[in-house]
């Protein structure tokens, strides 16, 4: 019954929309008669013509834009005099009555463009009225040719660190806003897309291999109109238990009243791997293997693998990277129609995006449609619906493939003498033939996502608006996997097929009342609301093995002789929230904002379901004080801000507070019987992670806003961290999820926007710097540190601290008896690596001689966007950098094993031998224990030309005959240049996990891409 | 008109309240409050506890015993493909308190013990009308058997250990920070549990669908072994005799039958960990761990290898029928049909011919105790009590007869006979997780001498026990390291 209620209300809204549509669909365009007005628009200050200015006849929707020489031409049915409305970004809007033709009109640059409206949580605000830290992404960065919208944020906004987690087409990124705080919970920001909150998390179907597709890739980035990032508590507290990691507000394109615009944007491009890792060729590998075998079995001679004759005949061998990497094609077509009249506006778009990976047989395709409609069917009613449907298909690189490409011996071949695939390398360490794995494994993921919001907003009385929003996000994903019998991975099972299905359904309802009023010098805006969101995931997978043919792939599970036990799962969560906010200002000088959200989440313990998240912000617009204006005429705006507030993080998955049971089976009488066992001890007090954040900053604009500077200092303390606190195993459990421990992040953010030149030649610069310091304050009672693999979480040190041994050269001949104890080997031998004895017990052991050996947190990050335009040419480039962080190069650790079982990097050429007493690289050894040391911790700093776009707008006079109003051709590149000392594929790399930040282990490498395209508007 | 819209807006605003509920009701998971309510649930809870003999991955009775325990003997070593430093450390006896395989022994055993404790406690609370009383007692006794088995392993591996006998339901210090109990206390509990478990049905009275459950014979046989370990020879003899006389077991006529996949839970199998490959279930991974890696199509791991310096292979007589089941010296490649000789003999007991090339799906059960061992327990206990009497001789000779190696010498003295029994155990029970226990049972001098003789020169008296995992010492203020391991 209650579900029916929601349905009924949504039907009301759709009915409204539908009837409104019908009403306005019949309106005819106004006829245009041949009479013309010609003119030029120039800059009032430097008298240079301005291109791209919108010139509109008042009372008529008809408008034109000026060409590269500032000229415009009107063809109209009206007679002189005309009233023109002239508008252009950065200039004062002008209304002018024109009596003659041709006419020259001067436009003055705006003294302040901080009047722009920005989207904030549950509403919009004028930028100058903001009390919180809200940053907007530079519009030109939205035009980057990327597969998902989160990638456009790289380097664009201070305090936002964006790192690619996989170069797989459609692969994910990891975003940290003002540093990561959560150890066990989620650290990704909340995305709010046209009002619909989404936590971007990949759910697994239990099928498939490798990095899953980024769910945000199922939203077309070309549909995005603007992106705002909410950073401080004043801005995020309204999102309560989901605001602690920051909030990214995404607004999609809307139609505007005026002329119908038909826009086509198409591009084709290519992408390549940034670099390849130098590994040994076949002869050098064979020599190393001979050495390793001789070292292990000296009585069998020096040529146990291949004799010198055979080595001489080897040739270069198989270059596995060369065989696997390719130049991938990228194609993008975007078609949209937008327009509307005063009462209804629409934006309808279609998109096709196809990206081939830089590794063979990997790709990502998206076909999407969007329909955004806004209408005012009645004077006081505003309704809208923003919906998109996207289907994505992706062939994913199986996990471990990059590692296999690096370490597969060059003496192994792709095909055997009969032309069939070589199954695996011939040595004791088994690696499957990675080319066969790549080419023959079916590992595809298809997703269909239907998402959007619709709303109705009613002006009850002047200034008081009621808004109801309904949203839905449906995501259906199917993962398909097949290992044929003729490759190694499938040979044991005689073919292996799996199918997995994930069905995600999330709905949202928001009901808000918004009141705005002014009396005398008091301005008040108040908001109250109730929202609820529910999400449900259903997962199903099944599989089979032992097929008589590989032809049917995963399409006929029933024909497999061995069935894999099917598996299903379902989980859901609910969030109820009450919210309120007041923005008050006196005389546009003194500002106060206060907000509170009360959230109830199903995810938490029965005794701790509800939490309150308040915030308070104050700001003072000093520049509006009369004394200030006289004293500092060059400063046209100065605002000092401060805020404090509380936000939460509820990303801990479901059912973590309950003592759930899980299914496990056993055998009796050779038949499977069902069993159950308990998962964990219940914790009724489990609650959110709470982040207290203080922010202080100022915004200053100088010289008619040609220079704008923003500085923020923040201190964020996250307490009640959700930690799987380790408990003694004697309890029967390893850990218990508890609210324990705290982490702080503090730092500075600087933003500088300058309009260096704004005449004929326009040059704008947008620079941002961010410094963040992360520190673990406490972790559980009494505990000072805990070690997790190659990392340590230690009180007083930042998260992402590497924990390992320190190397100390190589053991040389004659030193065995003195320094041998520092090799960690029972029988030390010259050529073994030496390690530092950190605990000072006179010997080296891997367990005890470890210490902190680096950190993945950067000293600072920056982004520098330059936008230049000159007579039809425009150029945007983004330089981006991360300085002072370290990376853990696991690929390199694998490549410096020198076992002769697997390939090694070319550094192996300098390994210790009798004739080359190296101090840097150890001898070849058949079975060394892999020891994690500072050898594999590298400087991860880099500066790169992240993106570059060069465009040319064809002069309009060449186009008018074809009915084209604008034609822009462009060249766009990503990752064109990189300056870094990092030895791996790419320094912009991280593992997705919170603890293992900065690990580079078999990650699909990043690529460099170059695209040409054209944008056409009718 | 206006009023209509106001109403419309009003209903929209407040109409949605409580469309959804904040209570968490998992749809695909049971919570403990919904469980232990009837007989079927009780049965499945105990089934789950059986699975904790080897839950997933390297688990106690699915290769962890081999990797974490048996490597530290004179018969086994980390094979060329056992690359893990922790495993190699155990093989070389350079392990310490942070060795992760030993941590797993501790962790997984207590996990299984907690599951047994829950079974024992909560099955007892099920309302009488919801469960047949006989079934209730059987299930509780099965859980007690499993609890005893795990404590028996723990006390032999680690010496004194915390004795947890109630399910842990809170995070209070009393529940979490349990101090060690003495070895005697642990043994008393093991014996008490096993005595209760003696009331389990005889294995023959289980139906076909329950074959493999703990039985009266299993409880008595493990109890005999407990007494033997404690050098309580008379009770050991009594229990072994009891199994032999009353439980209806016998040896298979052929040694190969012990590891035949069609003869699981047969007349000789008293208690085994059950495996079934290629069924969406679990294979015995010892098979692939010991299978050679370099024969085309076999795809073995070669991570468990025979330690040649220990000389085990050479101690088998040529005619010993156990030899070919226990070891392989070469294999025919399923890919090219050629015979490949191995560099040295490799273990073969769990190699499953039905899954050549995919030995991780081996369906061979792992015997935890079988009748041949009961005969050897009787021989050993009798010899310790009365010397190599005819009873002792007859007992060991039964095992030797099946192996076709003839009777034991009649003129052996007590000491020689003892050594002969241990050598027989070594050959009969190779790769059945018994060697380490047999070595440490004899004391530090014996253990160290045997290992040193086999070239494992790091062996020291402290290796009679494993160190208490450092993690547990860190987390539990009431826990102390084993005295032999302090300062090591």
> Which residues of chain B are within 8 Å of residue A534 when distances are taken between CB atoms?
19-20
Cis peptide leading into residue A68 (ω within 30°): no
- Averaged over B331-351, what is the pLDDT? 89
Give the containing element (helix H, strand E) for B100. Answer: helix B100-123
Average pLDDT over residues A961-987: 90
pLDDT of A23 higher than 50: no
Q: pLDDT for A31-71, tens place per residue?
A: 334 567 788 888 776 666 777 788 887 767 677 878 767 88
Q: How far is A856 from chain B (nearest CA, A)?
A: 26
Q: How far is B236 from chain A (nearest CA, A)?
A: 29
Task: Please tell me the predicted confidence (pLDDT) of residue B122.
Answer: 93
Range of the domain at A381: 124-257+341-398+441-783
Put simply, the answer to whether A430 touches B299 (Cβ < 8 Å) is: yes
CA distance B406 to B399: 10
pLDDT digits (tens, 9 = 90+) for A850-869: 999 999 999 999 999 999 99
How much is the average pLDDT of A1003-1014? 93
Cβ separation of B171 and A726 shorter than 8 Å?
A: no
A661 inside 8 A of chain B by CB:
yes
pLDDT above 90 coverage of chain B, percent: 74
Contact A430/B208, CB-based, under 8 Å?
no
> What is the residue-wise DSSP string for A317-356?
---HHHHHB-PEEEEEEEEEEEEE-SSEEEEEEEEEEEEE
Please say if the pLDDT value at position B2 is more than 90. no
Asked if pLDDT for residue A16 goes beyond 50, the answer is no
Contact yes or no for B28 and A930 at CB 8 A: no
The pLDDT > 70 percentage for chain B reads: 94
Which of the four pLDDT bands, split at 50, 70 and 90, describes residue A268?
very high
> Which one of A513, A602, A729 has the shortest CB-CB distance to B110?
A729
CATH number at A484 reads 2.40.170.20
Count Cβ neighbours within 10 Å for each residue of A131-145 and write b for 16 or more, e otherwise: bbbbbbbbebbbbbb
| Residue in B328, B329, B322, B290 with CA at minimum distance from that of residue B424 | B322
Chain B positions touching A655 (Cβ under 8 A) are 24, 26, 29
What is the three-class DSSP state of A7? helix
pLDDT at A90: 64
* ipTM of the complex, rounded to two decimals: 0.93
Work out the average pLDDT over A864-888.
93
Do A738 and A651 lie in a common domain?
A: yes
d(CA A598, CA A530): 9
A530, A564, A669: residue with CB nearest B17: A530
Gap between the Cα atoms of B403 and B415, Å rounded: 23
**What pTM value is reported for the model?**
0.81
Query: B175 to chain A: which residues are within 8 Å by CB?
Result: 731
In terms of residues, how long is chain A? 1018
Which is nearest to A49 in space by CA: A835, A749, A636, A762?
A: A762
A7 — contact with chain B (CB < 8 Å)?
no
Based on the domain organization, do A97 and A213 belong to the same domain? no
Instruction: Indicate whether A956 belongs to any domain.
Output: no
| Domain assignment present for A387 | yes
Interface test with B, best of A1, A578, A670, A681 (most B CBs within 10 A): A670
d(CA A1007, CA A329): 12
What average pLDDT does the segment B145-167 reach? Answer: 97
Pairwise CA distance, residues A439 & A432, whole Å: 12
Burial of A47 (0-12, 13-18, 19+ CB in 10 A): exposed
Residue at a domain's end among A51, A82, A107? A107
Least-confidence region, from A794-803, B204-213, B277-286, B342-351? B277-286
- Domain final position from A47, A79, A107: A107
Q: CB pairs below 8 Å between A and B: how many?
A: 269
Pick the residue of A667, A686, A925 with the most B CBs within 10 A to test the interface with B by mutation: A667
Residue A475 confidence class, pLDDT cut points 50, 70, 90? very high
Cα–Cα distance for residue pair B265/B278, rounded to 1 Å: 19
Q: How do residues A631-650 score in pLDDT, each as one tens digit? A: 888 898 999 999 999 999 88
**How open is the CA angle A729-A850-A731, to the nearest 5 degrees?**
5
C-alpha A776/C-alpha A795 separation (Å) is: 5
Nearest CA in chain B to A528: B13
Mean residue pLDDT across chain B:
91
Q: Which residue has the higher pLDDT, B17 or A713?
A: A713
- What would the pLDDT profile of A122-157 be if each residue is shown by its tens digit? 888 888 888 888 888 888 888 888 888 888 888 888
Cα A319 to Cα A434: distance, rounded to the nearest angstrom: 12
What is the predicted pLDDT for the residue at A19? 41
Cis-peptide into A117, omega within 30 deg:
no
For residues A185 and A224, membership in a common domain is answered with: yes
Domain CATH code at residue A36? 2.60.40.1120
Instruction: Give yes or no: residues A390 and A496 share one domain.
Output: yes
**By C-alpha distance, which of A948, A811, A942, A940 is closest to A878?**
A948
Of A563, A668, A675, the CB nearest to B211: A668
Q: What is the pLDDT of residue B256?
A: 95
State the pLDDT at residue A26.
40
- Among residues A826, A794, A805, which one has the least CA distance to residue A932? A805
Closest by Cα among A172, A240, A211, A70 to A691: A240
Q: C-alpha dihedral over B373, B379, B382, B388, to 10 degrees?
A: -170
Q: Which part of chain B has CATH 1.25.40.390?
A: 37-197
Across-strand partners of B95? none
* pLDDT tops 80 at residue A783: no
Is residue A853 in a domain? no
Distances (CA, A) of B403 to B92, B413, B419: 32, 23, 18
Residue A364 has a pLDDT of 95
Note whether A182 and A209 are same-domain residues: yes
- Among A107, A140, A173, give the residue marking a domain's end: A107
Residue in B12, B45, B281 closest to A667 by CB: B281
Q: Do B48 and A5 touch (CB under 8 A)?
A: no
| Predicted pLDDT of residue A743 | 93
Question: Considering only alpha carbons, which residue of chain A is nearest residue B22?
Answer: A602
In A, which residues are within 8 Å of B211 by CB distance?
668-670
The answer to whether residue A662 neighbours chain B at the CB level (below 8 Å) is yes
Question: What is the pLDDT at residue A5?
Answer: 47
Residue A120 has phi, psi (to 5 degrees) of -125, 180
Same domain, A57 and A159: no
CB contact under 8 A, A601 and B22: yes
pLDDT attached to residue A805: 94
* Any B CB within 8 A of A89 CB: no
A5-9, B183-187, B395-399: least confident range: A5-9
- Domain membership of residue A232 (yes or no) is yes
To 10 degrees, the CA torsion angle through B285, B286, B290, B291?
Answer: -40
Chain B's closest residue to A738, CA to CA, is: B171
DSSP secondary structure letters along B356-425: TT-GGG----EEEEEHHHHHHHHHHHHHHHHSS-HHHHHHHHHHHHHHT--PPPTT--HHHHHHHHHHHH
Residue A1 pLDDT > 70: no
Q: What is the pLDDT of residue A172?
A: 83
Segment B36-50 shows an average pLDDT of: 94
Q: What is the pLDDT of residue B4?
A: 53
From the CB of residue A625, how many other CB atoms can be counted at a distance below 10 Å?
14
Q: Provide, as residue numbers in chain A, all residues whose Cβ is less than 8 Å from the Cβ of B123.
A: none
Q: Which residue has the tokens 């039809």?
A: A872
Confidence at B20, pLDDT banded by 50, 70, 90: low
More confident residue, A30 or A187: A187
Report which listed range, A60-64, A239-243, A935-939, is most confident: A935-939
Phi, psi (degrees; rounded to nearest 5) at A56? -130, 140
DSSP SS3 for A465: strand
B47 contacts A509? CB cut-off 8 A:
no
Q: Based on the structure, what is the number of domains in chain A?
A: 2
- Give the pLDDT score at A956: 78
Chain A residues close to B15, C-beta within 8 Å: 5, 9
Report the gap between the CA of B435 and the closest CA in chain A (Å): 24
Structure tokens at A677: 């066992």
Kindly state whether residues A131 and A93 are assigned to the same domain: no
Query: Is there a contact between B14 and A511 if contact means CB atoms under 8 Å apart?
Result: yes
Give Cα separations from B418 to A429, A773, A776, B70, B240 (angstroms): 42, 68, 60, 22, 17
What integer is the mean pLDDT of B249-268? 95
Least confident span in A4-13, A394-403, B292-301: A4-13
Does A518 reside within a domain?
yes
The reported pLDDT for the residue numbered B428 is 97
Residue A44: per-residue pLDDT:
72
Mean pLDDT calculated for residue range B18-26: 69
A147 and A99 belong to one structural domain: no
Question: Residue B18: its chain A contacts at CB < 8 A?
Answer: 2
Q: How far apart (Å, rounded) are the C-alpha atoms in residues A467 and A457?
A: 4
Which A positions 343-382 lie with beta carbon below 8 A of chain B? 378, 380-381
**Would you say A745 and A773 are in contact if contact means Cβ atoms under 8 Å apart?**
yes
Average pLDDT in chain A: 87
Sign for the CA dihedral angle at B346, B349, B355, B359 comes to negative
| Residues of chain B positioned with their CB less than 8 A from the CB of A682 | 32, 169
B166, closest residue in chain A (CA to CA): A731
Closest CA to A526 of A581, A578, A579: A581
Same domain, A501 and A384: yes
Cα(B340)–Cα(B332) distance, rounded to whole angstroms? Answer: 6
Q: Are residues B275 and A667, on separate chains, in Cβ contact within 8 Å?
A: yes
Find, among B100, B57, B337, B472, the residue nearest to A847 by Cα.
B100
Cβ–Cβ contact A79 with B under 8 A: no
Q: Does A668 touch chain B (CB under 8 A)?
A: yes
Cβ proximity of A303 and A336 under 8 Å: no
- B254-263: list long-range contacts, CB under 8 Å, 24+ apart: B254/B321, B254/B402, B255/B321, B255/B322, B255/B325, B255/B402, B255/B403, B256/B321, B256/B324, B256/B325, B258/B325, B258/B367, B258/B370, B258/B372, B259/B325, B259/B349, B259/B350, B259/B364, B261/B352, B261/B354, B261/B363, B261/B364
Q: For residue B116, what are its two tokens? A: 């047994």
CATH of domain B37-197: 1.25.40.390
- Consecutive H or E run containing A392: strand A381-395
Among A71-75, A155-159, A215-219, A287-291, the range scoring the smallest mean pLDDT is A71-75
**For A720-835, where are the E strands, in sequence order?**
722-726, 735-739, 742-758, 761-778, 785-788, 791-794, 801-804, 807-810, 833-835
The CA distance from B62 to B272, in Å, is 11
Paired strand residues for A658:
none
Q: Three-class SS of residue A874?
A: strand
The SS3 call for residue B258 is: helix
When pLDDT is averaged across residues B156-179 and rounded to a whole number, the result is 92
Partners of A736 on chain B (C-beta within 8 Å) are: 171
Q: How many other C-beta atoms lie within 10 A of the C-beta of residue B486?
A: 10
Q: Return the pLDDT at A1011.
A: 94
| A500 and A456 belong to one structural domain | yes
- The Cα–Cα gap between A1006 and A544 comes to 35
Q: Is B295 helix (H, G, I), strand (E, B) or coil?
A: coil
A814 falls within a domain:
no
Inform me whether the C-beta atom of residue A11 falls under 8 Å from chain B C-beta atoms. no
The reply to whether residue B110 touches residue A931, judged by beta carbons under 8 angstroms, is no
Judgement on whether residues A162 and A61 belong to the same structural domain of the protein: no
Q: Are residues A533 and A595 in the same domain?
A: yes
Asked if residue A405 is part of any domain, the answer here is: no
List of chain B residues whose C-beta atoms are within 8 Å of the C-beta of residue A601: 22
């Amino acid at each position: 019954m209650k579900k029916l209620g929601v349905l009924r209300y949504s039907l009301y809204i759709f009915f409204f929309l539908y009837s409104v549509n019908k009403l306005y669909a019949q309106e005819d365009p106004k006829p245009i008669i041949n009479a013309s007005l010609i003119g030029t628009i120039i800059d009032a200050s430097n008298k240079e013509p301005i291109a791209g200015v919108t010139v509109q006849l008042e009372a008529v929707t008809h408008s034109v834009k000026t060409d590269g020489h500032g000229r415009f031409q009107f063809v109209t049915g009206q007679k002189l005099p005309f009233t023109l409305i002239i508008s252009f970004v950065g200039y004062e809007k002008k209304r002018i009555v024109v009596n003659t033709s041709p006419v020259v009109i001067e436009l003055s640059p705006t003294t302040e463009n901080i009047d722009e409206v920005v989207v904030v949580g549950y509403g919009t605000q004028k930028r100058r009225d903001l009390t919180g830290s809200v940053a907007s992404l530079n519009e030109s960065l939205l035009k980057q040719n990327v597969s998902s919208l989160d990638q456009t944020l790289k380097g664009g906004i201070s305090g936002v660190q964006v790192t690619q987690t996989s170069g797989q087409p459609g692969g994910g990124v990891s975003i940290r806003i003002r540093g990561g705080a959560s150890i066990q919970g989620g650290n990704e920001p909340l995305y709010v897309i046209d009002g619909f909150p989404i936590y971007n998390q990949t759910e697994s179907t239990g099928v498939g291999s490798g990095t899953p597709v980024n769910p945000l890739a199922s939203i077309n980035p070309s549909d995005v109109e603007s992106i705002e990032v909410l950073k401080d508590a004043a801005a995020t507290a309204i999102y309560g238990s989901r605001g602690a990691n920051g909030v990214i507000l995404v607004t999609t394109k809307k139609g505007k009243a005026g002329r119908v615009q038909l826009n086509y944007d198409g591009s084709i491009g290519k992408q390549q791997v940034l670099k390849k890792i130098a590994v040994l060729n076949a002869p050098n590998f064979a020599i190393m293997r001979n050495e390793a075998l001789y070292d292990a079995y000296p009585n069998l001679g020096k040529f146990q693998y291949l004799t010198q004759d055979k080595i001489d005949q080897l040739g270069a061998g198989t270059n596995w990277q060369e065989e696997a990497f390719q130049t991938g094609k990228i194609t993008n077509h975007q078609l949209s129609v937008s327009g509307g009249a005063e009462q209804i506006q629409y934006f309808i778009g279609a998109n096709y995006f196809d990206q081939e990976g830089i590794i063979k047989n990997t790709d990502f395709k998206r076909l999407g449609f969007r329909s955004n409609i806004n209408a005012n069917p009645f004077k006081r009613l505003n309704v809208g619906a923003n919906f998109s449907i996207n289907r994505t298909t992706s062939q994913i690189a199986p996990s471990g493939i990059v590692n296999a490409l690096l370490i597969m011996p060059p003496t192994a071949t792709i095909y055997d003498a009969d032309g069939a695939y070589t199954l695996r390398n011939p040595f004791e360490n088994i690696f499957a033939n990675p080319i066969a794995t790549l080419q023959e494994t079916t590992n595809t993921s298809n997703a269909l996502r239907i998402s959007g919001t619709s709303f109705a907003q009613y002006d009850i009385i002047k200034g008081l608006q009621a808004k109801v929003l309904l949203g839905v996000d449906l995501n259906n994903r199917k993962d398909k996997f097949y290992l044929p019998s003729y490759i190694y991975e499938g040979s044991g099972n005689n073919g292996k097929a799996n199918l997995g299905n994930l069905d995600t359904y999330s709905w949202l309802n928001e009901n808000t009342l918004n009141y705005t009023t002014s009396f005398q010098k008091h301005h008040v805006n108040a908001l109250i609301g109730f929202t609820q969101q529910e999400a449900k995931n259903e997962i199903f997978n099944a599989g089979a093995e032992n097929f008589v043919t590989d032809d049917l792939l995963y399409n006929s599970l029933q024909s497999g002789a061995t069935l894999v036990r099917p598996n299903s799962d379902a989980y859901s969560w609910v969030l109820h929230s009450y919210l309120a906010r007041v923005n008050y200002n006196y005389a546009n000088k003194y500002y106060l904002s206060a907000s509170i959200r009360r959230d109830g989440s199903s995810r938490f313990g029965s005794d701790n379901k509800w939490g309150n998240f308040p915030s308070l912000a104050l700001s003072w617009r000093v520049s509006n004080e009369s004394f200030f204006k006289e004293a500092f005429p060059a400063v046209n705006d100065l605002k000092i801000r401060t805020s404090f507030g509380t936000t939460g993080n509820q990303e801990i998955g479901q059912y973590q507070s309950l003592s759930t049971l899980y299914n496990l089976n056993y055998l009796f009488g050779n038949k499977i019987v069902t069993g159950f066992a308990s998962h964990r001890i219940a914790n009724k007090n489990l609650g959110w992670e709470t982040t207290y954040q203080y922010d202080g900053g100022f915004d200053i604009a100088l010289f008619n806003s040609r220079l704008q500077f923003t500085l923020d200092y923040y201190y964020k303390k996250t307490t009640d961290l959700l930690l799987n606190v380790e408990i003694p195993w004697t309890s029967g459990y390893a850990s218990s999820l508890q609210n324990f421990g705290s982490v702080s992040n503090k730092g500075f953010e600087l933003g500088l926007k300058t309009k260096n030149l704004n005449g004929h030649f326009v040059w704008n610069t947008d620079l941002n710097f961010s410094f963040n310091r992360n520190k673990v304050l406490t972790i559980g009672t009494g505990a000072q540190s805990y070690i997790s693999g190659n990392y340590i979480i230690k009180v007083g040190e930042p998260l992402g601290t590497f924990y390992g041994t320190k190397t100390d050269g190589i053991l040389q001949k004659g030193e065995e008896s003195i320094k041998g104890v520092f090799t960690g080997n029972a029988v030390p031998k010259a050529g073994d690596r030496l390690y530092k004895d950190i605990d000072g017990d006179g010997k080296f052991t891997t367990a005890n001689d470890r210490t902190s050996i680096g950190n993945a947190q950067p000293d600072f990050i920056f982004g520098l966007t330059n936008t230049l335009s000159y007579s039809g040419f425009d150029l945007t480039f983004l330089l981006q950098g991360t300085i002072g962080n370290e990376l853990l190069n696991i690929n390199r650790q694998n490549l410096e094993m020198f076992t002769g079982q697997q390939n090694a990097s070319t550094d192996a050429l300098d390994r210790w031998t009798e004739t080359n007493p190296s101090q840097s690289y150890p001898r070849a050894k058949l079975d060394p224990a892999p020891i994690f040391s500072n050898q594999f911790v590298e400087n991860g700093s880099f500066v790169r030309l992240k993106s570059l776009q060069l465009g040319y707008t064809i002069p309009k006079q060449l186009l008018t005959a074809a009915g084209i109003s604008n034609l822009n051709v462009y060249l766009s590149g990503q990752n064109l240049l990189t300056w870094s000392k990092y030895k791996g594929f790419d320094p912009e790399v991280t593992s997705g996990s919170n603890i293992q930040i900065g690990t580079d282990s078999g990650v699909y490498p990043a690529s460099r891409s170059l695209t040409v395209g054209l944008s056409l508007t009718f | 008109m206006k009023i209509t819209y106001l109403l419309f807006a009003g209903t929209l605003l407040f109409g949605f309240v409580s469309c959804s509920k904040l209570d968490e009701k998992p749809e695909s998971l049971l919570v403990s409050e919904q469980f232990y309510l009837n007989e079927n649930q009780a049965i499945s809870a105990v089934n789950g506890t059986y699975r904790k003999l080897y839950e997933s991955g390297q688990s106690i009775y699915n290769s962890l015993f081999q990797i974490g325990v048996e490597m530290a003997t004179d018969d086994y070593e980390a094979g060329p493909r056992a690359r893990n430093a922790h495993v190699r450390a155990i093989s070389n006896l350079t392990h310490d308190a942070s060795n992760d395989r030993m941590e797993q022994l501790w962790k997984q055993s207590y996990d299984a013990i907690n599951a047994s404790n829950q079974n024992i406690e909560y099955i007892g609370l099920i309302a009488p009308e919801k469960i047949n009383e006989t079934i209730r007692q059987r299930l509780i006794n099965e859980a007690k058997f499993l609890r005893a088995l795990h404590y028996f392993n723990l006390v032999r591996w680690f010496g004194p250990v915390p004795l947890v006998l109630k399910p842990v339901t809170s995070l209070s210090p009393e529940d979490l920070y349990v101090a060690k109990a003495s070895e005697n206390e642990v043994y008393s509990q093991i014996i008490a549990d096993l005595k209760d478990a003696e009331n389990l049905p005889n294995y023959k009275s289980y139906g076909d669908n329950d074959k493999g459950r703990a039985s009266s014979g299993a409880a008595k046989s493990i109890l005999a072994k407990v007494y033997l370990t404690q050098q309580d020879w008379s009770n050991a003899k009594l229990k072994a005799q009891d199994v032999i006389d009353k439980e209806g077991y016998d040896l298979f006529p052929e040694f190969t039958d012990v590891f035949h996949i069609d003869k699981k839970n047969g007349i000789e199998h008293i208690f085994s960990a059950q495996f079934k490959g290629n069924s969406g279930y679990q294979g015995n991974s010892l098979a692939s761990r010991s299978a050679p890696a370099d024969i085309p199509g076999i795809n073995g791991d070669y991570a468990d290898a025979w330690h040649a310096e220990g000389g085990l292979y050479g101690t088998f007589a040529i005619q010993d029928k156990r030899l070919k089941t226990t070891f392989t010296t070469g294999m025919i490649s399923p890919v090219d049909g050629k015979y490949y000789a191995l560099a040295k003999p490799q273990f073969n007991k769990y190699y499953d011919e039905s899954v050549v090339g995919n030995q991780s799906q081996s369906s061979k059960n792992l015997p935890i105790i079988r009748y041949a061992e009961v005969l050897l327990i009787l021989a050993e206990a009798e010899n310790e009590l009365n010397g190599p009497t005819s009873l002792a001789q007859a007992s060991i000779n039964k095992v030797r007869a099946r192996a076709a190696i003839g009777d034991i010498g009649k003129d052996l003295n007590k000491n020689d006979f003892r050594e002969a029994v241990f050598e027989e155990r070594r050959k009969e029970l190779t790769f059945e997780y018994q060697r380490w226990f047999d070595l440490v049972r004899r004391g530090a001098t014996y253990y160290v001498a045997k290992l040193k003789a086999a070239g494992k020169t790091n062996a020291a008296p402290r290796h009679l026990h494993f160190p208490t995992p450092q993690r547990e010492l860190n987390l539990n203020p009431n826990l102390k390291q084993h005295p032999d391991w302090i300062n090591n």
